[in-house]
Structures are given as structure tokens and as C-alpha cells.
Amino acid sequence: MDGLANAHLAAISESIRFLRSVDFWSPDLRSELFGLQDSLPAPTAPETAGERDVGSSQSLEAALSVAKAAVASVDALAARLGAGIDAELAARTSDVLARAADHAAAKVRASAADRVRGLYVIVDPEVTRGRPILDVAEASLKGGASVVQLRDKSRDKGEMLPDAIRLQAMCEDYGSLFVVNDDADLARTVSSHAVHVGQTDLPVASARAVLDARQLVGTSNGGVDEALRSQAEGADYVAVGAIFATTTMGKSGRRSLGVEAIAEVKDAVSMPVVAIGGISLGNITDVVSAGADSVCVVSAVTFADDPETAAARLVEAMQAASA
């Protein structure tokens, strides 16, 4: 075994040792990780593995990074002649580590999805009364919005990119989530926290293939059946609506589901539920009382004379309803 192959093997061995030390694997995956250590040949200089820093934290992020790096090391090792590992063992090792990475990524996203709470504001250049979307978005954040989504059907992606970059940075500054509507490639480029897709947009799996493993995928849903399908496809949160009649954002003519749909979806899925459609200061209490984890609005904030004050009043009403 040459020196480079040995270095790859040492890295894989140390990575598996680290992954075995964390405690959030399924029983089957844990068993497979322990079995790998016994199956792999030992590096010719095992002490070099101890010098590698794969991280001491047992965090999900660390496990995800280590597993992904280990998969790359296995692939590099398998490509070398005389690497001391046969093709079948390399394939099994790569598969187990890839599944460990997927498992850790899912848990990272579940933790991030818990932040889909509170007021969720969609900004779109067509519904800001001519005001810059960045100004409306920042006013929303100052008013307490927890999530801001960029939805823009009128511009090409290259035109949207500078605004998306600034919105991502802005949301980070306020400790809020930034979501890109529809465009997984734009979401990946600006490292948004999430992408949101409709029932006829890019499928969840296809969006996931473009995104970083840590990025969320949210979906629009018209009721329990679609929400369950979204969950089965791997969505991280579901939006349900229209709860009330609305003419905003192309939703005119949709059947109003009523607040009862919120409770029905909430009982059916195990992820955050976002209520959307016709929600205003006058009915937001009923929406929160029905169980919505997050409330998504457009015109209630973006059409307001003072978007910051409008957002703050909605947040206050939500907090009062939750209390």
C-alpha cells in the first residue's frame, strides 16, 4: 500500500471511529458503522490517524462534515491501484458512510426547521407599492419577522442575484431565515436557509439534489393529502392554504380552506406547519389558535403604509394568541 492510499485509509478509519462515538444513529446504522471498523484493513501506520483533527464535538454538524469527507476518502482510495481494499468493501463502506451523512443531514435540517416559527413574510417586487424589496424586507425584520421569502416572477435570476445576496446577509444579521421561492440553483448560490416550491414546481428530491445538505425545502399544500405527500417526499416544512380568500400572489380563485385545515394538517404531519392566504391582523389570532407554527403574510405587511409597524402588530398578536 502506497503512502497516499495509507493516508486515505487512516482518514477513513479515524472518521469511522469518530462517527461511532456519537449517539444519534439508528440501531441498524450504528451496527453497520461498528462493522466497518472491523472489516477495513488497518493503516500501516495507524498512529497517523490520531494526528488527524476530525473534531471533538458530537454535534450533528460535525458528524455530517466527517461523514461527507469520509465518503470522498473512500472514493479516492477505491480509485487507486493496490490500495489494499477491494471493490466490494469500498462500495459497502461508501454506502454506509453516505447513509450516515444523509441521516446526519436530515437531523441538521430538522433542527433548522424548528426555526420556521413566528411571522413569515413574502416580499415580491410586484406587491410592495413600488418600494424596493430590500427596504420592505428590512422593515419586516425590524418589526420581528422570523422568516423572509424572496418571490420574484418578473426578473431573470441574474437580476435577482444581488438582492438575494443582500437578503441572505440581512436575515443573518437579524437572526431570521431567508427563503428563495422556486429557484433551487439561486438558493444554493446564495446559501439561503431554504427554498420553497409549489406542487407543480421542482419536486422535493430534485431540489434536494441541487441544494447543500443543510438547506431546507418547504412546500405549498392545499390540504392534508398534499401535506402528507410532501412529508413522504422529504420536505422540511409545509405551508397550507389558502386559509382565507386572497387575491395576492396568484392565489385568487383558490378555495378557502378555513382554519380547520391548519389543525388537520398539524395532526397529520411531524414538521412545522405554515398557514398562508388572506391572513391579516383581524384573523391572525384564529390562525395561531388553530395550531399554526408560523403565519405567512404578503399584503398585510408589504402593502402597509408602515411595514415595520404592520409586522410588529402581527407579531404582537401572534404572541398574545400563543400565550
Pairwise CA distance, residues 44 & 291, whole Å: 59
pTM, rounded to two decimals: 0.86
Q: How far is CA 21 from CA 17, 180, 205, 231, 308, in A?
A: 7, 36, 30, 30, 47
User: Under a CB-based contact definition with an 8 Å cutoff, are residues 218 and 192 in contact?
Assistant: no
- Which residues are CB-contacts of 116 (< 8 A; sequence separation ≥ 6)? 146, 147, 177, 194, 216, 218, 236, 237, 272, 274, 293, 294
- Which residues are CB-contacts of 78 (< 8 A; sequence separation ≥ 6)? 85, 87, 90, 91, 94
3-state secondary structure of 102: helix
Pairwise CA distance, residues 107 & 177, whole Å: 18
**Residue at which a domain ends, from 90, 110, 130:** 110
Quickly state the pLDDT bin for 70 (edges 50, 70, 90). confident
- The reply to whether 168 and 207 lie within a common domain is yes
Q: What percent of the chain has pLDDT over 90?
A: 61
> How many distinct structural domains can be found in the chain?
2
Lowest-confidence region among 41-50, 105-114, 212-221: 41-50
The pLDDT assigned to 276 comes to 96
- The reply to whether 145 and 245 lie within a common domain is yes
The pLDDT assigned to 128 comes to 94
Residue 221: which H helix or E strand, with range?
strand 216-221
Span 159-173, pLDDT tens digits: 999 999 999 999 999
pLDDT of 250 strictly over 60:
no
Maximal C-alpha separation, the chain: 72
The pLDDT assigned to 120 comes to 98
Span 252-286, pLDDT tens digits: 456 789 999 999 999 999 999 999 999 999 999 99
- The reply to whether 97 and 123 lie within a common domain is no
- The reply to whether 93 and 124 lie within a common domain is no
3-state secondary structure of 162: helix
- The reply to whether 221 and 85 lie within a common domain is no
Q: What domain range includes position 20?
A: 3-110
Arithmetic mean of pLDDT, 178-188: 96
